[in-house]
Amino acid sequence: MRPVFVALLGLALIACGGPEADTDSGMADHTVDNNMPEVGFGLDPQGPVETQHTAIDVRASWMRPHPGGRDVTAAYIVVNLSEGSEDLLTGVSMDGADRVELHGHLIGEGGVMQMRAIGPQRVTNAGPLVFTPGARHLMVFGLPNVVEGDVVNGVLEFQNAGEVPVSFEVRSMPPGQMTDY
């Protein structure tokens, strides 16, 4: 099963690039497309939320090792609001990375699933904001090679809570149980 999983991951990461790929760096020029079809996962760009005091709890933060020879990988988190009623995840940065983008999946022409950059994402006290394989995720560009067992520090940027530090453990499989997501 592991070889199939690795092959699918490689195809997914390659699918993130498109005809707009930057041939100098090998990375795609991802932009937020607010005119995408309704069929998608995590693609609803969300605007500002009410200004209020919030506290954020982050768990299950991890990232995949780099696929062979690429300087792009994916990272995942589960974000809970522990105080307040809503906040907005507006950005992410990681030590050593050129950039980190919030990504989602959509079903494009011909029924092909594609990844695209998405706008800020709302977290409410109704439930967690989940970034997991096959759904919303963080695309990490230009990070020096990471391998299983490494830890990469980053910062989640929220409209109300401000900067929230997070450490991403590099691993091939998600931590914990599926019920953690």
Give residues with Cβ within 8 angstroms of 8, minimum separation 6. Answer: none
Residue 80: φ, ψ to 5°:
-120, 145
Please tell me the pTM assigned to this model.
0.73
Q: Answer whether residue 178 is part of any domain.
A: no
Strands 55-63 and 99-107: unpaired
The reported pLDDT for the residue numbered 130 is 94
Domain range spanning residue 115? 2-173
Q: Which of the two residues, 48 and 166, has the higher pLDDT score? A: 166
Hey, is 114 helix, strand or coil? strand
Q: Which residue has the higher pLDDT, 98 or 114?
A: 98
Structure tokens at 143: 């990070």
**Domain at 39, CATH number:** 2.60.40.1890
Q: Could you report the per-residue pLDDT of 97-111, keeping only the tens digit for each?
A: 999 999 987 777 888
Helical ranges in the chain per DSSP H:
2-15
Has residue 134 been placed in a domain? yes
Residue 107: predicted pLDDT? 77
Does some domain include residue 180?
no
Structure confidence by residue, pLDDT tens digits, 27-72: 333 333 333 333 344 445 567 888 889 999 999 999 999 888 788 9
Q: What is the DSSP letter of 45?
A: -
Q: Give the chain's domain count.
A: 1
Q: Distance between CA 19 and CA 34 in Å, rounded?
A: 19
Whether 116 has a pLDDT exceeding 90, the answer reads no
Residue 132 lies in a domain: yes
C-alpha atoms less than 13 angstroms from C-alpha of 15 in its C-beta half-sphere: 19
Mean pLDDT of the chain, nearest integer: 78
| 129 pLDDT above the threshold of 50 | yes
The reported pLDDT for the residue numbered 43 is 46
What is each CA distance from 160 to 100, 125, 130, in whole angstroms? 20, 14, 19
Classify residue 179: in a domain, yes or no.
no
Question: What are the angstrom distances between the C-alpha of 122 and each of 64, 79, 87?
Answer: 24, 10, 6
Tell me how far apart the alpha carbons of residues 81 and 72 are, in angstroms, rounded to a whole number: 29
On whether residue 181 sits in a domain, the answer given is no
Q: Average pLDDT in the 117-143 region?
A: 93
Measured CA angle at 23 (ends 35, 114), to 5 deg? 35
pLDDT band (50, 70, 90) for residue 16 = very low
Among 22-36, 112-126, 135-149, name the one with the lowest average pLDDT: 22-36
